[in-house]
Amino acid sequence: MSHDHIHENQKAVVNRLSRAIGHLEKVKRMVEEGSDCSEVLVQLAAVRSALDNTGKVILKDHLRHCVTDAVASGDDDAVDDLCLAIDRFMK
């Protein structure tokens, strides 16, 4: 199974991760500076949202290729692994 397809969305994933890291750095600074808890929580929600976004990009790409590959090769283990990964991410 080739993983060349990772590069298609690599830029999108890296951009979203950078955004998440930026928000997280801000959360850290806010906590260090003793910012208001509600503001920290709002910023933390932005981190979660950026991470969810990142996960969705990776998952969509992963699904498109892996399901096709797994079904084509009749690889039940691959399908099970994929379902497990999806379950973990969607919880």
Name the domain count of the chain.
Answer: 1
Per the structure, the complete domain to which residue 83 belongs is given by: 8-90
> Does the residue 2 lie in any domain?
no
pLDDT number for residue 1: 46
Q: Is residue 3 part of a domain?
A: no
Residue 1 lies in a domain: no
At 75, list the tokens: 């690889």
Reply yes or no on whether the pLDDT at 7 is more than 70. no
Distances (CA, A) of 1 to 8, 77, 81: 16, 13, 14
Tally of CB atoms within 10 A around 50? 20
In 3D space, the residue among 28, 88, 25 whose CA is nearest the CA of residue 58 turns out to be 88
How confident is residue 8, by pLDDT bands cut at 50, 70 and 90? low
Report if residue 27 sits inside a domain: yes
Asked whether residue 63 is assigned to any structural domain, the reply reads yes
Over residues 18-66, the pLDDT tens digits come to: 989 999 999 999 999 999 999 999 999 999 998 988 888 888 887 777 7
Q: Residue 19 sits in a domain of what CATH number?
A: 1.20.58.1000
